[in-house]
Amino acid sequence: MVPPGLPPDDTLVTWSGPMSPSNPRNFSTATKWYACILVSWSTFLANAATNMIAPALGLMSVTYKELYTMWIRGSLIGSYIFAFTFAPLIFGPMSEIMGRKPVLIIGTVVFFVACLLSGFVTAVWQLMLLRFLSALGASAPMSIGGAVLTDMFAPDERGRAMTLFALAPQLAPSLGPIMGGWIAQEAKEWRWIFFTAAICGFTAAAPMFFVRETYTPAILARRAKKLRKETGNTQLTTIFERRQETKKQIITRGVVRPLVLFTCEPIVQLLTLYVSLIYGIIHLMVATFPAVFGTIYAEYPGWASMHFITITIGTIVGGFLGGYLVEKHYHNLSLNNRGIAKPEFKFYCMLYTVWIPPFGLMVYGLITYYGIHWIFADIGIVIFCVGISIAVVAIQSYMVDCYSLLAGSALTATIVVRSICGTGATIGSEDLLLHAGMLWSNVILSAACIFIGVPAAYAVYFWGASMRQKSRHATHKR
């Protein structure tokens, strides 16, 4: 079947018909949801493993005396986050060359093996290396999961699948450390944290072998290869093969374009700087939760880890609230502008919600400094997470509108830079608390949110249109 709008071509290999069973959009409901659940579960594990060892660092220090050094302790968490820097640069192009399924299998198997071996390490450097490798593998489904769902589900049926996929990383940051905290408290053996992660990893890796390929160019390429072999007609090719894009060009597009956008686009630079700041702060907070609640409130690892739930609550509430505010202001401002919509209208809520994260940080800092009941510290964390979640929704919505076809590259640039900042934050987190204290460390971070976030928000809203018009890469210039 020749795609609509193209002349008949006997050498063009495409779907056999509109209802071709090979077309991912025509997969059975069970096949689609099997893949969706597996990808979402793998993404959950990737995020859960980030801080799962945070509550057990004290217990691990008994085995490895080097962990009494703060920056080494932070590096155990930071080595995992650092791997996220490379994920979108590697797995996006890799999935276009190999197809989605091989990338998913490789990623989940690497995660499983690395977690399993982590339970047998005899040196800290081995654990850091395996943490990096496990994160690199785990980030494969996280990087291409959205593309897998887009391959299978039509826009009008994609809502529930995307909701499940988006919910996984929202729940993971709290459930992973909670698991680690209770294992550390009850089992008194930190290695079982990695063994448990390996068991969970196996439940993702083994079923992944039975997922069907969803990448259309890869499916059609195999079909064309089979037909060429059967018929002997070497002219049979797919429309994707005729583009003659080399592997080098695919890799260059996936790696170079995000770097170009980050270095040349003021909008991307401003928003990436702010996202990286708040991402670094959240990782700093997460890395120090066990120490803060274990020291100030004298809580055991299991109970101290329960405070990670506040991050999930704040993130989910902020996500829904951010979506509502973005759409509400976009609709109302477009009507007031004679029906002419501008991307900046999606950013309007940032003019007042940008003040929420520093307020939440100050509440958290003051409460913990004076040792007031932990529930108020949790409220401060929730407020902060609501604010940053609204910011992420607004920023992503704005970037997608601004750069349209290049939105993936713009968001990739943000992911790369924020992962580097998150790594640095976890490594230096305890040093900051030790030297500045709970109060002044949060005052410094709140001031950074104000002095970076507020100018960025107001500059993008009021001068974003001007920056877009001068841009070489923005696709929305009105």
pLDDT class of 383 with cuts at 50, 70, 90: very high
Which of these CATH numbers, 3.30.930.10, 1.20.1250.20, 2.40.10.220, 1.10.1740.10, describes 28-213? 1.20.1250.20
* ∠ Cα 79 84 85 (to 5°): 95
Give me the residue label for tokens 């100018």: 455
- Residue 372 pLDDT greater than 60, yes or no: yes
Bridge partners, 237 (sequence order): 12
Query: What pLDDT does 118 receive?
Result: 93
User: What is the three-class DSSP state of 8?
Assistant: coil
Using an 8 Å Cβ cutoff, are 421 and 276 in contact? Answer: yes
Cα(469)–Cα(465) distance, rounded to whole angstroms? 6
Q: What is the mean pLDDT of residues 302-320?
A: 87
Residue the block writes with tokens 């785990």 = 138
Lowest mean pLDDT among 146-150, 244-248, 463-467: 244-248
The tokens for 476 are: 């929305």
More confident residue, 367 or 338: 367
Mean pLDDT value across the chain: 85
pLDDT per position as a tens digit, 120-130? 998 999 999 99
Give the span between the Cα atoms of 414 and 434, in whole angstroms. Answer: 30
What average pLDDT does the segment 212-219 reach?
88
User: What are the E-state strand segments in 138-271?
Assistant: none
Say if residues 388 and 448 touch (Cβ distance below 8 Å): no
Query: Is residue 73 within 8 Å of 61, Cβ to Cβ?
Result: yes
Among 382, 349, 350, which Cα is nearest to 275's?
350
| Nearest residue to 310 via CA among 395, 218, 380, 230 | 380
pLDDT band at 1 (very low <50, low <70, confident <90, very high): very low
Closest Cα to residue 314, out of 381, 269, 375? 381
Task: Give residue for tokens 């609230």.
Answer: 321
AA identity, residue 326 = V
CB of 208 closer than 8 Å to CB of 100: no
Cα gap 78→82, rounded to integer Å = 6
Report the CATH fold assignment for 257-468: Growth Hormone; Chain: A; (1.20.1250)
Q: What is the mean pLDDT of residues 123-145?
A: 91
The CB density around residue 351, as the number of other CB atoms within 10 Å, is: 15
Average pLDDT rounded to a whole number, residues 413-432? 80
Closest CA to 292 of 279, 281, 307: 307
Q: Residue 295's pLDDT is what?
A: 85
Same CATH topology for 28-213 and 257-468: the answer is: yes
Q: How confident is the model at residue 456 (pLDDT cuts 50, 70, 90)?
A: very high
Res. 111: pLDDT tops 80: yes
pLDDT exceeds 70 at position 209: yes
Q: How far is residue 244's CA from residue 236's CA, in Å, rounded to a whole number? A: 14
Q: Show me where the domains of the chain are located.
A: 28-213, 257-468
> Which contiguous run of DSSP H or E holds residue 321?
helix 309-336
pLDDT at 114 over 90: yes
First to last CA, the chain: 39
Closest CA to 106 of 124, 118, 94: 94
* Cα gap 172→78, rounded to integer Å: 17
Q: Average of pLDDT values for 348-375?
A: 93
Residues 43-51, mean pLDDT to the nearest whole number = 88
- For 237-285, how does the pLDDT look when each residue is reduced to its tens digit (9 = 90+)? 888 877 777 778 888 777 888 888 888 888 888 998 898 888 888 888 8
Please state, for a pLDDT cut of 90, what percent of the chain lies above it: 29
DSSP state string for 383-428? HHHHHHHHHHHHHHHHHHHHHGGGHHHHHHHHHHHHHHHHHHHHHH
Q: How would residue 107 be classed by pLDDT, with cut points 50, 70 and 90? A: very high
